[in-house]
A and B are shown apart, each in its own frame.
Chain A
């Protein structure tokens, strides 16, 4: 059974960098059958997909246009985890952040496993 465990601070100051980590158990961040995603939820924006990392011949990343200039998703195969960095945050980045797995083989393009969520507040 795949499980995702998130960690990271719940408070970030404006203009600083939001950093979260998602540890994977029951699957591999370097496997070729899944993509590892970050999604956030806020009352004003609902669910918003932010980006993903996956391995297919090489490491690949895709990012949402809305955050493309500020986001980096990395993977650490030795720890079997992936991370989110969002730079230059503003109060509009206040949200519950989720990591989630999406299958990328056959007809799988849905999020079948989610982390527990981390409320990140951007405030001085």
Chain B
């Protein structure tokens, strides 16, 4: 069974800085089927990145994804207060059919 482990658990940064969130899979995953989501309190998750590196519609180019195999990352440049949220990685296709990481909380102070 594939387990996605995200790090760090919490990331505190200042506006204008850049931050990198990590997601490590316990087994190799198909990068075509790897995605990142942003979730703000009281809202549904929003798709940011799919196929490991493709931005979803309407997502600013401050957000970028990279990685393959077992190591993936989400980088956010020029951080803005509105980027405060919990970020989740997700894989599809391996047992379990679909799974999420436990999330990284990004705080912009």
**Interface, chain A (partner B; CB < 8 A):** 37, 41, 46-49, 62, 64-65, 98, 100, 102, 107-112, 114-117
The listed residue (A46, A98, A102, A117) touching B88 by CB distance below 8 A is A46
**Interface, chain B (partner A; CB < 8 A):** 32-33, 35, 37, 39, 43-47, 50-51, 56, 88, 90, 92-93, 96-103
Say whether B33 contacts A49, CB under 8 Å. no
Compute the total of residue contacts between A and B using a CB distance below 8 Å: 58
Which secondary structure dominates chain A's binding surface?
Answer: strand
Contacts of A65 in B (CB 8 A): 96
Contacts of B47 in A (CB 8 A): 110-112
- Determine the distance from Cα of A106 to Cα of B32 in the docked complex, in whole angstroms: 9
- Chain B nearest CB, measured from A12 CB (Å): 21
Contacts of B99 in A (CB 8 A): 49
Say whether A46 contacts B32, CB under 8 Å. no
Contacts of B44 in A (CB 8 A): 98, 100, 114-117
Say whether B45 contacts A114, CB under 8 Å. yes
Contacts of A116 in B (CB 8 A): 44
The contact sample of 11 A-B pairs, CB cut-off 8 A, is A41-B39, A47-B90, A49-B97, A62-B97, A65-B96, A102-B92, A102-B98, A109-B92, A110-B50, A112-B56, A114-B46
